[in-house]
Structure 1
Amino acid sequence: MDRLCERDPWYDEMKNAKKKMDQLEKVGLMEGIPERCPCGGRILVRISENDGDKGKRYYQCDVYKNDGLHIRKLWDKAMEEEVTNLREEIDTHHKKIQSLEYYQQEMRSELKDIIRRIGSQGFRYLGPFIAAGPWFKEIVYSREVLLDADLDEFMFNTRLGREESIYRPFLLRCAAEGHKTARYIESLRRLTQVGPSVEALEMLGEVGMIVNRTFMARFETLQDAIDIADVVESQLEQAYAFLGTLRGDATSK
């Protein structure tokens, strides 16, 4: 096909015309500060000596001819286009950043829910996330995760809540966010080790009110709750009496 075209007497002329059209299009589309002319020439800064625009600066091709195939652009216009292009690029990047921030928030929310559910199975499971770095550590210390953390182990092993324990800072964080178990454990520690205080009694009172409300919600009438409480009290008295008997027998032996 190319050989047939080359035999056409108008081939070279059409080829040159196409080249000029392409070059004209490139010259027309080039915005901002030009780096090189479409013809391949270097771009220089020239000062006009014409009467109409004398003293004005131009970006101009070093082999410039007034045929529309070479760059010659007013310096002010080139700068204006460059600033406009930069502004558009900044706006585009800003939108991308906003989009990334949105997805990051979505991902953070999903991860927070996952970590919250993991922590609800036991506070020790949160340790690897705390050690993973500041980003995960911040999620673990969020209110949602701390309030739902399972602290039952602190109830069974009181050493975990002592002042020298490495787990105590986590317990205090949970207590500060209003975790019922954490506040109960801390109130008991203060009452037994520090002594009675308004703050400790208030913390213990808050837990007592929550337990009372939870207990009362299980029954339809107040009398049902009183009857159950009487049964529990009777069982406790029997248990204490039995323990006293065992201790007496052990002492006599």
Structure 2
Amino acid sequence: MKIAEQYGIEEAILLNYIAFWVQKNAANEQNYHDGRYWTYNSLKALSKLFPYMNERKIRYALDKLKNAGLILSGNFGTDLRNRTLWYSLTDEAIEMLNLQNCHIACDKIVTSDTTKLETACDKNVKCNSNNIYINNTTTVNNKQLDTQLKDVAADGKGEELAINKEAVGLWSNSLGLPSAILAEKITALVEECGIVAYRKALDKALERNKRSFAYVQAVARGIAAGDEWESKPPAAPAGIGAGRAAERKKNDVAAAAAVVQRALEGGGVIDL
């Protein structure tokens, strides 16, 4: 079952966000604690990154992910006064997101003061420890997503990259992995209408079982222009409108025939 359908859209967004930065930290071999790589951010910072979610909604979504056994939380800051939580993925989430290409067999593990993991291991050998995950390479899906998005982090546009990653990841979780061309269209739509309108449009598409980009684009543009689409009923299945029109026409013909019959029987004049 798709992550967004099973756990919720906000939960899917945050899970993909955590997964993205955990993989980045793993590739850079940083923020390694207790046998896993972690990422951290405050609720305030997350609410600025995802403006359609307030701190309460973010806390609720993160708690839901923790209770579902998909993420772990901890506090590894050196300043005890800093209570910013750190997040990592559980084994279940790694498997669900298909992030684990291989386990690494480690003959030697040395944890330094900076908690950097040093291994002398063959990356093609089955891992001897189930708690050690080194994601130096990402999965096919995440490789494709990364290549489909312009890496602007080096230019100081990390927030833009995160929003693009979120938009494409949300589509991937809801409607399937998009092609490179479709990913470009998605990021262009988000730039045009904003992530909030895009998210609402995708939500409407899922609600009405619409899977085309054209539909999401039309709804997002409408929402960005002020149309919330809340009062519009789901589109009727094909053929229902035509059937109703035919039924009305049939009733009109029957009514006209009845008028003619009464006029003939009464000897009156028929007004055509």
Which TM-score band (shorter chain)?
Answer: under 0.3
- The TM-score with structure 2 as length reference comes to 0.23
- The TM-score with structure 1 as length reference comes to 0.24
